[in-house]
Structure 1
Amino acid sequence: MTGQNHENESQGPSLKTKLKAWWEGYDLSARNRRAADEAPPPTSAPAPAKPAVAQPGVNRWGKPLWSANRIQVAEQIWGQGFSTPGGADHVPYLVRPLGLNPAMSVLDLSAGLGGTSRAMAAKFGCWVTGLEASPLLAKAGMERSFMAGLAKQAPIEAYDPENFSFARRVDAVFYKEGMFTVAGKDQMFDGIEVHLKPRGHVLITDYILAPGAKLDDLTAWHQHEPQEPHLWTKEEFANAFAQRNLDLRIAEDITDTHRGLILTAIQRLVEHMEKHHLDHETKMNVMDEVELWVRRVNAMERGLRCFRFYALKPPE
């Protein structure tokens, strides 16, 4: 799967074609495949003016980012307890640089439904506090931690990334593909540095603007993102670490891995949907969710990259 929206005769129907065929309820005959490709894809409503100040848990058009139904759809795509690419099997690879162990405390700044926080706690025995910008996701995440017997070892709480604060210092901070939506990245970096213990670790995976790429190349993606993107370059991230005396050890492009997780999960979803009937609300959420991630994959071919940054705080 390439993430392209056009059908290739040698490869069979495209992902969008299969999804549209499923949506309309017809078989993928040659005639219907062509009609589906020529028809306009399902689209979200036109973007009204965004609110002056971004609010946690609300999209740029003033509506809730999440609903119970969308949570159900996300878990179907990414796995139980996850709302973004990379399930429990992916977590050890992702957090490997942190060197987690049972003596460590971790702050997860993009907890979502808490799947990554619980995976870290269960796999490595560390103590994780998950913070999530969406109150609805945070509540659902805490319920899942309670059900997993990890309410104390991996609690999930709501917070405002634009006004980041925490009550104590930790051994490690982890932030998974969330900082690109934060306008005040400097206050976020200041908070990370303040809340890290001496010799503490920070690991950030995030979307960045590739060298030589222009925001104009990403207009379609930028305009349709639920939260307004505030992209930094690799150099801006490196400068933010350096300005706070955080020793940047890894700046790694993980776009291919990230893209693969997305495409594999969506393909599984397509196969699942071909065998199940869904109500209208669920269909709408499935289409919205798939379009969100297909747009991101397409943006990765035009200058959006996913990077992993790892840094150390020096001893006092």
Structure 2
Amino acid sequence: MTDKSETGSLSLKTRLYAWWEGYDLSGMRSRHKAEDPDGDRHDQPQHPQPAPGIDRWGKPLWTATRIEVAEKLWGEGFNTPGGSDHIPYLVKPLGLNPAMSVLDLSAGLGGTSRTMAGKYGCWVTGLEASELLAKEAMIRSFKVGLEKKAAIETYDPEHFSWSKRVDAVVYKEGMFTVRDKEQMFDGIEMALKPRGHLLITDYTVEPDRLESKAVQSWIAKDPLEPHPWPKDRMAAAFAQRNLDLRITEDITDTHRNLILTAIQGLVGHLEKHHMDQQTKLAVMDEVELWARRVAAIDAGMRVFRFYALKPAE
């Protein structure tokens, strides 16, 4: 496959610039600073550990405008790669059915939770750090009559515990932002019933790739500071809790293609629609975020699907 990050992305950038009425990226940022006295938030002091739903520069991670842009990228009810067509492939190892209870630890706008509840009849509780995303997710669950089977609540990933035991836990590309992953794994293990299922998809970076320029740029500029583990450390976390790791699958190419296809589709949409200045800035921020992640992938970051079973008591 042609490397779109080196070739195809150039045409995407050209089209994005054309859409931006002739401004190049640096011009756009200059204009943004002139209109925003706070300037580029990437230059501001970083908070040691943001509160849930707050980015590393002390601002809300999500706004109504960013939500609008995210849904244009990933589809209604989704704010990360992989819409309702992708979720069944992702969760297939869980064997979901109407008798099962599921915790979704990266609920976002609730798309994954509603897809699982709607397609398999299981009872899902989605947990989300951002109050705004959780609120918007519940609005979307009510709209389709899944407010009970796909309810979304707020939580703090750095202090995770769940009082009720569940049949399955799903955590889609969220663990990499958690500083204290050991407490998260402990909380997940405690939440699982005997014979419970655990599915995690996450970004991993091996030590020899950690210092690459693209990976460092991703770590420095992502809205939530990444703390990626290498694949073997992730596997060890399962083993330490006696979780039987059945699948360790590299899904990087699939994830990368989902991102590039979505950006391509967004650019096509932008060329046909007028947007206000605030929305344009949000679009460019979101595209830059995912372009940085693709660049990190091309520099060696991987995306893995881990699936494990908790043993019977």
TM-score, structure 2 as length reference: 0.92
* 8 A Cα contact 2:212 2:299, kept in partner: no
Deviation at 1:13, TM superposition (A): 5.2
Give the counterpart of 1:245 among 242, 252, 273: 242
- 2:34 corresponding residue in structure 1: none
CA offsets 1:52-95 (integer angstroms, 9 cap, x no match): 22210000010000001110110011000000001001110010
CA distance in 2, matches of 1:298, 1:205: 19
Aligned-CA RMSD value: 1.7
- 2:114 corresponding residue in structure 1: 118
* 8 A Cα contact 2:53 2:129, kept in partner: yes
| Equivalent residue letter for 1:4 | S
Deviation at 1:14, TM superposition (A): 1.9
Give the counterpart of 1:157 among 153, 158, 169: 153
Aligned residues: 301
The 1:315/1:12 distance shift into structure 2, 3 A limit, reads: closer
User: Which residues in structure 2 correspond to 1:171-186 (within 5 Å)?
Assistant: 171-186=167-182
- 1:314 corresponding residue in structure 2: 311
- 1:30 corresponding residue in structure 2: none
Give the counterpart of 1:195 among 180, 191, 196: 191
CA distance in 2, matches of 1:12, 1:74: 19
Give the counterpart of 2:123 among 109, 120, 127: 127
Is 2:275 the partner of 1:278? yes
* 8 A Cα contact 2:109 2:134, kept in partner: yes
Deviation at 1:271, TM superposition (A): 0.5
CA distance in 2, matches of 1:137, 1:119: 17
Which ranges of structure 2 fall in alignment gaps of 5 or more residues?
A: 30-39
- 1:33 corresponding residue in structure 2: none
- 1:29 corresponding residue in structure 2: none
Deviation at 1:25, TM superposition (A): 4.9
The 1:22/1:105 distance shift into structure 2, 3 A limit, reads: same
* 8 A Cα contact 1:20 1:41, kept in partner: no
Runs of 4+ in 1 over 4 A off after TM superposition: 41-44
- 1:31 corresponding residue in structure 2: none
| Equivalent residue letter for 1:2 | D
- Identity among equivalent positions (%) equals 65
| Equivalent residue letter for 2:301 | L
* 8 A Cα contact 1:15 1:267, kept in partner: yes
Equivalent residue of 2:15, what SS?
A: helix
CA distance in 2, matches of 1:186, 1:100: 27
* 8 A Cα contact 2:41 2:57, kept in partner: no
Is 2:290 the partner of 1:289? no
User: Which residues in structure 2 correspond to 1:228-267 (within 5 Å)?
Assistant: 228-267=225-264
* 8 A Cα contact 2:42 2:221, kept in partner: no
CA offsets 1:231-271 (integer angstroms, 9 cap, x no match): 10111001100000000011111000000000001100000
Give the counterpart of 1:225 among 197, 222, 229: 222
* 8 A Cα contact 1:42 1:287, kept in partner: no
Is 2:295 the partner of 1:298? yes
Deviation at 1:12, TM superposition (A): 9.5
Is 2:244 the partner of 1:213? no
| Equivalent residue letter for 2:239 | A
Deviation at 1:108, TM superposition (A): 0.1
Which ranges of structure 1 fall in alignment gaps of 5 or more residues?
A: 27-35
Equivalent residue of 1:238, what SS?
A: helix
- 2:5 corresponding residue in structure 1: 4
CA distance in 2, matches of 1:108, 1:225: 22
